[in-house]
Amino acid sequence: MRLKNVKGANEIIINGEYYVDNPYQYKGNWNSIFKNNNPIYIEIGMGKGNFIIENALRYKNINFIGIEKYDSVIVRAIQKSNDLELDNLKILRIDANRLMDVFDKEIDTIYLNFSDPWPKKRHSKRRLTSEFFLDIYDNIFKDRMRIIMKTDNIDLFNYSLDSLIDHGYSIVYKNNDLNCLSDDNIMTEYEEKFYKLGIKINKFEGIK
């Protein structure tokens, strides 16, 4: 998700209430940042932050970390969260390729919401459910491995299912027409847009 540049974006980001400027120094020690031993859930590619912020507001006994690499997007999440009281939220500006530089056996759940499908075969390694990334996730999960994915792209959805199963995951939930208005479903910005357009949303949960 790319947006037009926001004037002064870098300054807004680094001064964000929940932004962590140098996350690499906390590898293996994120519970000390949150000052508790609650489970840590991360969203890779959080966009403008609606999903991760609402989760943090709703589930105070879980620590949430939103991850995004684009300044033009992360700045929106910073602006939305600055005035909220959220002891259980942190926001990071990193590329997913560097997850192992930031976390070490301490993540409980990974959310992948409307990830870039990278449809060309030569780009398949870049998909966040490719074997390349699943190997990375193996090194950051604390114990049980749990991935929850939502996407409007059925090809990415089917690819991801096969990829996780090949990697030893069990698919414990699958839905090809998610009820976006159910009480327990927190929508992303993309999801709200697609729902209004009548586009079906696919969701699965895999556990290893």
Q: Is 116 a catalytic residue?
A: yes
User: For residue 129, what pLDDT band results from cuts at 50, 70 and 90?
Assistant: very high
For residue 37, the enclosing domain spans: 9-17+33-207
Q: Is residue 133 part of a domain?
A: yes
Q: Is residue 97 part of a domain?
A: yes
Sign of CA dihedral 37, 41, 47, 51: negative
Determine the average pLDDT of the residues in 2-31. Answer: 87
Q: Is residue 177 part of a domain?
A: yes
User: For residue 1, what pLDDT band results from cuts at 50, 70 and 90?
Assistant: very low
Domains held by the chain: number: 1
Is the pLDDT at 190 greater than 60? The verdict is: yes
Give the pLDDT of residue 4: 58
User: For residue 182, what pLDDT band results from cuts at 50, 70 and 90?
Assistant: confident
CATH number at residue 41: 3.40.50.150
Q: Is residue 110 part of a domain?
A: yes
Q: Is residue 3 part of a domain?
A: no
Among the options 21, 87, 95, 116, which is catalytic?
116
Q: Is residue 109 part of a domain?
A: yes
Q: Is residue 4 part of a domain?
A: no
Q: Is residue 42 part of a domain?
A: yes
Give the pLDDT of residue 179: 81
Q: Strands, DSSP E only, in the chain?
A: 40-44, 63-68, 89-93, 109-113, 146-151, 170-175, 202-207
